Amino acid sequence: MDWLTGMQNVINYIEDHLTEEIDYNEAAKQAACSSFYLQKIFSIVFDMTLGDYIRNRRLSLAGNELSVSQSKVIDVALKYGYESPESFSRAFSKFHGITPSEAKKDGSKLKFFPRFYVKITLGKGTVMGYKIVEKESFYVVEKSEPQKRDDAISVPSIQDFWERAYNNGTVRTLFDITPDRKRILGICYGNMSHETDMFNYSVAAICDKETVAPEGFCKSEIPARTWAVFECIGPIPDAMQGMWETIVSEFFPSSGYCPTYEMDIEIYTNGDRKSSDYRSEIWVPIKKK
């Protein structure tokens, strides 16, 4: 499925179910990906979490309904997924700047949040350094933690994981394990069971097949895949976040490839991560459309 078509299908599904409880797994099926990757890529493409989009659309429609109809506040609150008038009033006031009761008065000023549409924007494009790599399976030693698969894609939690990994010696241990002692990996495993709202994230290092994982670490095999490898130059996290945006908004829609949604790997070199010439990479397993 074309990625742009898939994202538009997701938005269409959400719009058709705004007055119901939205199943993120069902929404993800519209783009043939996992719930985790839907939320991750939605945030990159639209600079807004999927949850915020749903919330803003519901509050926008609720404001319009209160201003043009005789509907009761409690009925509108329940219609758009709020369990009590109090929780609805707090969210409504934060969004519109007035209370639901005030919205029913003539001349009330409300905010409108439009439905999103996916479209291709023609421009100069972005010059990016990338290569397609056929890679046999390889082994990593990793320390993994479960992360909550929420709207924000657990970015603060992952940053905290890295901070602890630097402070408690995990990163140093991994640099000592990898043969070239120059690179460590952040591995995001995106395709977990739909029955859980968690995903695994690992701080890892490539190792030899014979390597024995130290205590507190585990050893895993990354399967043979075709990878799109993107070079990032600049301080972390800005350079990598900017490259992710380019990958999702420009590379996948026009390259003839799409991600397999199994995982993605970020590679960090041993150097000053805040330097303007710091080099890192993003590895994404791909397949032809």
HEC string of the chain equals CCHHHHHHHHHHHHHHCCCCCCCHHHHHHCCCCCHHHHHHHHHHHHCCCHHHHHHHHHHHHHHHHHHHCCCCHHHHHHHCCCCCHHHHHHHHHHHHCCCHHHHCCCCCCCCCCCCCCCCCCCCCCCCCCEEEEEECCEEEEEEEEEEECCCCCCHHHHHHHHHHHHHCCHHHHHHHHCCCCCEEEEEEECCCCCCCCEEEEEEEEEECCCCCCCCCCEEEEECCEEEEEEEEECCCCHHHHHHHHHHHHHHHHHCCEEECCCEEEEEEECCCCCCCCCEEEEEEEEEEC
Residue 152's pLDDT is what? 45
- Banded model confidence at residue 250, pLDDT cuts 50, 70, 90: confident
Residue 196's pLDDT is what? 57
- Banded model confidence at residue 117, pLDDT cuts 50, 70, 90: confident
Which of 151, 203, 188 minimizes the C-alpha distance to 284?
188
Q: What is the C-alpha separation between 13 and 5, in angstroms, rounded?
A: 12
Q: How many residues does the chain have?
A: 289
Give how far the C-alpha of residue 240 lies from the chain's centroid of Cα atoms, to the nearest Å.
13
Q: How many CA atoms lie within 13 A of 82 on its CB side?
A: 20
pLDDT tens digits along 196-231: 567 889 999 999 999 999 999 999 999 999 999 999
Residue 1 in this model has a pLDDT that exceeds 90: no
pLDDT tens digits along 162-205: 999 999 999 999 999 988 888 999 999 875 544 556 788 999 99
Residue 2 in this model has a pLDDT that exceeds 70: no
More confident site: 280 or 180:
280
More confident site: 32 or 215:
215
Q: Which tokens is 269 given?
A: 């070199």
- Banded model confidence at residue 151, pLDDT cuts 50, 70, 90: very low
- How do strand 130-135 and strand 183-189 relate by DSSP bridges? unpaired
pTM of the predicted model, to two decimals? 0.78
- Banded model confidence at residue 122, pLDDT cuts 50, 70, 90: very low
| pLDDT winner (highest mean) among 35-44, 87-96, 245-254 | 87-96
- Banded model confidence at residue 158, pLDDT cuts 50, 70, 90: confident
Give how far the C-alpha of residue 153 lies from the chain's centroid of Cα atoms, to the nearest Å.
5
pLDDT tens digits along 50-67: 999 999 999 999 999 999
